[in-house]
Amino acid sequence: IEGNNKASRGALVVLEGLDRSGKSSQCSRLVSFLEGQGISAELWRFPDRTTNVGQMISAYLTNTSQLDDHTIHLLFSANRWEKRSLMESKLKTGTTLIVDRYSYSGVAFSSAKGLDFEWCKVPEIGLPAPDVVVYLDISPEKAAERGGYGGERYEKLEFQKKVADWYKVLHDVSWKDVDACQPIEDVEKQLQEIVLDCVTECRKGKPLSTLWS
């Protein structure tokens, strides 16, 4: 039975990128695609604004509350930890999770404010490590031209430039860069290929690891 469970585990797929790079659009398209292929999949997002911690984060992001930079960093991390056991059980029982932002957003955004990079990484240690991180690559200038920019706390060009620099530091060989300036359908096709490969690897028994691996 254990062998079967391992063989059928779901993949942990994370999409990262600057604000307005197209993550949410692509995440929902991916989940529909996977379901159409008969692959059990769910859309997750961080911050998860539905929890108590998530509501504190949401108030901060919309500028209705002020918090110390370290405090909000730890809340973002706590918001991932409170979903950890559910995340693991979903993966172990064969559901692929398409996750809109994860620990990399946590570290990149807080480092962009000037917090120590290594300090920022510590609270993420031990969370499930993604099987693949897809980075939706767009310049801060191009992203700013897209709809709805300017509403929330971090949606300012100068700040997004710093975030882009920290994403570069976090980038490793396991990341897949996709040019996010292509038409939505072209980005979608590339993501489908990356994610199908990843799901196959996980079904073959690739073990789930933890951050920072």
Give the interface with ligand T5A as residue ranges (CB under 6 A): 17, 19-25, 46-47, 61, 76, 100-101, 105-106, 109, 146-148, 152, 154, 180, 182-184, 187
Q: Which residues, 6+ apart, have CB-to-CB distance to 5 below 8 Å? A: 92, 93
Distance CA 189, CA 119 (A): 37
Cα 5 versus chain centre, distance: 25
Report, in Å, the least distance between residue 76 CB and ligand T5A.
3
Q: Which stretch binds Na ion (CB under 5 A): 3-11, 23-31, 159-167, 198-206?
A: 23-31
- Are the CB atoms for 88 and 3 separated by under 8 Å? no
- Are the CB atoms for 128 and 12 separated by under 8 Å? yes
Which of Na ion, ligand T5A, none interacts with 137 (beta carbon under 5 to 8 A by kind)?
none
Among 24, 25, 51, 190, binds Na ion (CB under 5 A): 24
Q: Which tokens go with 115? A: 């917090």
Which of ligand T5A, Na ion, none interacts with 204 (beta carbon under 5 to 8 A by kind)?
none
For Na ion, the closer CB: 154 or 212: 154
For Na ion, the closer CB: 8 or 24: 24
Distance CA 27, CA 25 (A): 6
For ligand T5A, the closer CB: 114 or 148: 148
Distance CA 21, CA 116 (A): 25
CA-based nearest residue to 110, from 127, 97, 123, 128: 123
Distance CA 44, CA 121 (A): 21
Which of ligand T5A, Na ion, none interacts with 90 (beta carbon under 5 to 8 A by kind)?
none
Number of residues lying near Na ion (CB under 5 A): 1
For ligand T5A, the closer CB: 182 or 190: 182
Report, in Å, the least distance between residue 100 CB and Na ion.
6
For ligand T5A, the closer CB: 59 or 61: 61
Report, in Å, the least distance between residue 166 CB and ligand T5A.
11
Distance CA 5, CA 69 (A): 41
Report, in Å, the least distance between residue 183 CB and ligand T5A.
6
| Alpha helix stretches (DSSP H) within 9-68 | 23-36, 52-61
Residues that bind Na ion (CB under 5 A): 24
